Structure 1
Amino acid sequence: MRRARTPLHTMGVLADVALAVVLAAVLLTTSLEAVGTSDVTGAWRIIVIAGLVVLHTTVLGRSRWPVATFVVASAAMLLLALAPDLGGASAAEVGSPFSALLLPSGLVFFVLLYTVSSRTTPPLPHIALAIGLVGGIITVARLWNAGGYATSPGEGATAWRLFITAAVAAGLLAAWALGRYRATRLAWVAALEERAVRAERERLATIEQARKDLEHEAERAGAAERRRIAREMHDVVAHSLAVVVGQAEGGRMLVTSEPARATEVLSTIAEQGRLALTEMRSLLGVLREDDDASRTPQPGLDELQRVVDDVRRTGTPVNLEVTGEAVSLPRTADLAAFRVVQEALTNVVKHAPSGSSARVALDWSPRGLRIRVEDDGAAAEAPDAEGVSGRGLFGMRERLTLVGGHLERAGPDPSGPGGFLVEAWIPVPDPQQPDDHRPDDHRPHEGSHQ
């Protein structure tokens, strides 16, 4: 499958063509003219001309095939080194016969050495330098005794030999060093680009991870909100339905015996149903992002008497006792206290046998509120405190934990022959503690958007 040509590749090819044309115009024409006016004839003339043309042709493919073109150029230079000295008119102009290595086209070899040094990876550049140094030794040896300078007496021969050695060595080392410098610079730029790409990938990965973390946090917040709403709905629906069921069962027996009281029972059922619908609308309004519903105040201990009256209407006597001086609680703690009493009385209505009575005791102290709800029904009828499978007692524990309190007991009453006891403690926030370590009256209560 052929590789698609990119604009950068096309520009490289055009640059090689342009360089080959310039070198041919400047160097090849002069070299061919010198060969043409020399006394070299026959096969060597053809070999020298072919070597010069091949040497310049390698420039066209130096970018795509740096190693191959360097090898071909080295072979062409070896042919020029083996060729006899050029005499004739060309020799007359410079004063003596000279080797074909001194033709201007010989400079093309340095271009090829630079190319293979800059475009290949080790050890190829070092191998190319070694080949170049071997060629340099051959060149110096070939020109050691060449020309009039080498045969002139005195210091002329020494100066010539030093000049040839220095020029060949300097040309080879300069071309190779420039190539390695370019290769090192390109590698450094590529490393910077790779580092930038890697940094961008890491940045995108960090952003993606942050997005996932935010989504996970949103899911956790949504799950917590669903649990809160489920807890609220359980408290509202369970209490109201328990009262409705209790009233309905009592009203069924009063229809025939005391019809007048049956009307009162039905009124209570209707009132409880309307109350449950009102609270349900408030909760559903939060789900619908209803601003009016979200501002509906949540119940507190000041509405506890209404709950007690509802339970009494079911036929279960309830005694409410309040001791100590009431202390102001945060709204969340006030709501938690109300829900604890409401759920405990709901369990009395649901689980205590007929004829049971209940007692609600609120014991206030400067440190907090102790809640005690007990009934005198059979303990076997009450839910197990340690193995509760429903949401009622679990919701109590969760609410109390959120406000810094705890459920001290929820099980059979150990102080009497039977019945069920719920005992909870809600502390008053310490004003010396930082705001983020205690409940805050100004934080949004559970019925508002958060």
Structure 2
Amino acid sequence: MTSSAADALAGQPGPGPRWLGDLGQAALAALLALVLLPVGVRSVREGDVGTGWTVTLLGALVVLHLAVVVARRRPVASYAVGAGAMLVLVTGPDLSGLTANAAGGAFSPVLLPSSLCFFPLLYAVSARGSRPWPTIALGVALIGCLLTVVRIWSFSVPGLEWWTWRLILTTAMLAGTLAAWALGRFRATREAWIAELADRGAADERRRIAREMHDVVAHSLAVVVSHAEAGRLVVARDPDRAPEILGTIADAGRGALTEMRGLLGVLRDEAGSNAPQPGLDELPGLVAGVRAAGLEVAYDDAALPEARPPATVGLTAYRVAQEALTNVTRHAGPGARARVVVAREGTELVVEVTDNGAGPGAFAGSPGRGLIGMRERVEAVGGVLKAGPDPREGTGWRVHARLPWGEEDSRG
């Protein structure tokens, strides 16, 4: 699990404006106070329990409602204060008066409506408290349930059998406690899951950017380096070719800068940054640029129809060919020849790049970033990539990609 997902599961605030959540919490507290608190205050004032207990019980009721206000920001502290207030209500003397007469007899203060505020407090610490506080809160709540049941076990409700009242009491206490705690843990788990998805999306985007940067920079630099190395030898013998060689280097650099600007523009989400990405139509130009760098390349797209696959598939095919030709330039050795074949076979687009160069020895050891990037790019569109020594020639290297054609573009 990533760090942000762990933070979410530990109870860190989720995405969205924090003030909006605080406003909702305050609205909930105000609603509970408006509905529940007046009955509790009247019952305590009429309860005939003495001045000391009257003040104490009224304070406990007010503290319960105030704890709900800050439960989102301070879940553990508000729960601890609320649990203390509930303990006061459980241990307080029975209340008499008009409310007691209507209820059929004196009753414990824990039966006052404001006791329901304990469930939002338990939910808050379960949803937003860091480990191990949610578990501790559940344990405290279950102990509180036991104390409450024992405290009002002998209380009776007119019209109900004693066993019915006790069954309702025990079931309601346990169900409310477990439901509040479970809902809180569900929210924490859901936020952690969302954070995990966001982290995975960011990681995928970083890999995609790394592939794009590698493909653009590696290919262009390979062309520039090969021309620069050849230029040192050629210019000494034939100075008139210097403008041609320098022009090719400049063209490769400008092409790389253009693609880099497009990529960086997409990352910045700039208006007008939606420059068209290369695809199958740009493959002949890619091959021509590699030929100009001194590599003999044959290109065959006779089996390719005029219609085009989706842009993502076309871009993947272009990048595969680009990276494969870059590897040929860098690894295949002097005098190497390459062949690029692009064809449609049924519902698949096939891209194959082969060379007659150094073969297995050229890629000894673990695969480089280029091969890994090619495989990730191909798998991202649902394709399959094979790269290794050419089994038909016994030497050289072969890159073979099969990509799903998908729905055709309107071009062609």
Q: What's the TM-score once normalised by structure 2's chain length? A: 0.59
Structure 1 segment 158-177 matched on structure 2, within 5 A: none
Does residue 239 of the first structure (1) align with residue 219 of the second (2)? yes
Give the gaps of 5 or more residues in structure 2.
1-39, 52-91, 96-104, 111-147
2:308–2:409: 8 Å Cα contact kept in structure 1? Answer: no
- Equivalence for 2:45: 11
- Equivalence for 2:288: 309
Deviation of 1:64 after TM superposition, in Å, equals: 4.0
Q: 1:335 to 1:388 in 2, by over 3 A?
A: farther
Q: 1:298 to 1:325 in 2, by over 3 A?
A: closer
1:117–1:125: 8 Å Cα contact kept in structure 2? Answer: no
Q: 1:13 to 1:245 in 2, by over 3 A?
A: same
Q: What's the TM-score once normalised by structure 1's chain length? A: 0.54
2:340–2:351: 8 Å Cα contact kept in structure 1? Answer: yes
Separation (CA, whole Å) in 1 of partners of 2:380 and 2:261: 25
1:400–1:426: 8 Å Cα contact kept in structure 2? Answer: yes
Separation (CA, whole Å) in 1 of partners of 2:254 and 2:151: 91
- Equivalence for 2:185: 205
Paired residue secondary structure (2:221)? helix
Return the structure number with greater relative CO, CA threshold 8 A, min gap 6. 2
Question: What do the CA deviations read for 1:304-349 (whole angstroms, capped 9, x no partner)?
Answer: 1221122112211111122324253121111111111111100011
Deviation of 1:208 after TM superposition, in Å, equals: 2.3
Structure 1 segment 221-300 matched on structure 2, within 5 A: 221-293=201-273, 295-300=274-279
Paired residues in the alignment total 284
Paired residue secondary structure (2:388)? strand
Separation (CA, whole Å) in 2 of partners of 1:195 and 1:206: 16
Separation (CA, whole Å) in 1 of partners of 2:46 and 2:185: 36
1:351–1:381: 8 Å Cα contact kept in structure 2? Answer: no
- Equivalence for 2:310: 330
Paired residue secondary structure (1:362)? strand
**RMSD in angstroms over aligned alpha carbons?**
4.0
Q: 1:261 to 1:200 in 2, by over 3 A?
A: same
- Equivalence for 1:391: 369
2:157–2:165: 8 Å Cα contact kept in structure 1? Answer: no
Separation (CA, whole Å) in 1 of partners of 2:320 and 2:157: 87
User: Which of structures 1 and 2 has the bigger CA Rg?
Assistant: 1
Q: 2:297 aligns with which of 311, 314, 318?
A: 318
Equivalent residue letter for 1:317: E
Separation (CA, whole Å) in 2 of partners of 1:325 and 1:124: 83
Q: 1:196 to 1:64 in 2, by over 3 A?
A: closer
Deviation of 1:196 after TM superposition, in Å, equals: 3.7
Separation (CA, whole Å) in 1 of partners of 2:281 and 2:156: 95
Q: 1:404 to 1:10 in 2, by over 3 A?
A: closer
Q: 1:334 to 1:8 in 2, by over 3 A?
A: same
1:242–1:350: 8 Å Cα contact kept in structure 2? Answer: yes
Q: 1:12 to 1:390 in 2, by over 3 A?
A: farther
Q: 1:284 to 1:118 in 2, by over 3 A?
A: closer
Residue identity (%): 42
Separation (CA, whole Å) in 2 of partners of 1:124 and 1:398: 65
Q: 1:304 to 1:9 in 2, by over 3 A?
A: same
- Equivalence for 1:91: none
Does residue 355 of the first structure (1) align with residue 389 of the second (2)? no
Deviation of 1:396 after TM superposition, in Å, equals: 2.0
- Equivalence for 2:19: none
- Equivalence for 2:76: none
Separation (CA, whole Å) in 2 of partners of 1:284 and 1:372: 29
Separation (CA, whole Å) in 2 of partners of 1:411 and 1:176: 83
1:382–1:411: 8 Å Cα contact kept in structure 2? Answer: no
Question: What do the CA deviations read for 1:266-317 (whole angstroms, capped 9, x no partner)?
Answer: 1111111111111111111222122322x11110111112211221122111
2:338–2:355: 8 Å Cα contact kept in structure 1? Answer: yes
2:353–2:399: 8 Å Cα contact kept in structure 1? Answer: yes
Q: 1:322 to 1:395 in 2, by over 3 A?
A: same
Does residue 415 of the first structure (1) align with residue 395 of the second (2)? no
Separation (CA, whole Å) in 1 of partners of 2:335 and 2:156: 109
